[in-house]
Amino acid sequence: VPVLWWRSGGHTHTAFVMETLGDELAAAARQDPIAYRLALLDPAQTRHRAVLTMARDRSGWGKAPLPKGRARGVAVHASFGSVCAHVAEVSVTGNQIRVHKVTSVIDCGSTVTPLTIEAQVQGAMVYGLSAALHEKITLADGRVVQSNFTDFPILRISELPEVSVHIVPSSEKPSGVGEPGTPPIAPAVANAVAALTGKRLRKLPFELT
């Protein structure tokens, strides 16, 4: 089956595998997911540390109480010269996942237009969230079944979470902002679902049965 390009290329499925596995290891070690990641980082990975720390603080991780039936999940990934993390707050009703809030943090080097960075991170996150929740491709007789938005649903405005984007101050050279927001969102949501239900999601798009 020939395949073409997807936003952020191979970083999407790479981040999903690595960050859900890392979260599973943290659970096995009975450690907080963010503290576990910080402890594993090389001391030289200062940008990862700054992003994770800001994501922890701005999301209220471990401090701000959550409404009943909700949980948070985190993921961090470096791509296109930038480091981005998402903390996703989710609930599950039946087999439906609802993402209520996403706290996003990015280190993309020196910033020139912060509003552009915010818009790009939001768009990249929504793109990845839409794919994680809805956008399934199936084949029949060697052809893709889905043909348009009638049978290939995308995220609706009514499904969008509340999003806040935070930029880590940096003196590094400017780096990517258009794609780094996509890879961490699927694992952040999957990790939140696991924290809430105990069920690990290992396929995209998500299917709760």
| Tens-level pLDDT at each residue, the chain (209 residues) | 777 778 898 999 999 999 999 999 999 999 999 999 999 998 888 999 999 999 999 999 999 889 999 999 999 999 999 999 999 999 999 999 999 999 999 999 999 999 999 999 999 999 999 999 999 999 999 889 999 988 999 999 999 999 999 999 998 999 999 999 999 999 999 999 999 999 999 999 999 87
- The H or E element containing residue 125 is helix 114-133
> What stretches of 154-197 show up as alpha helix (H) in DSSP?
185-197
Strand, coil or helix: what is 179? coil
Give the separation between CA 120 and CA 104, rounded to whole angstroms: 11
Instruction: Read off the tokens for 71.
Output: 């949980």
DSSP percent split of the chain into helix, strand, coil, nearest 5: 35, 20, 45
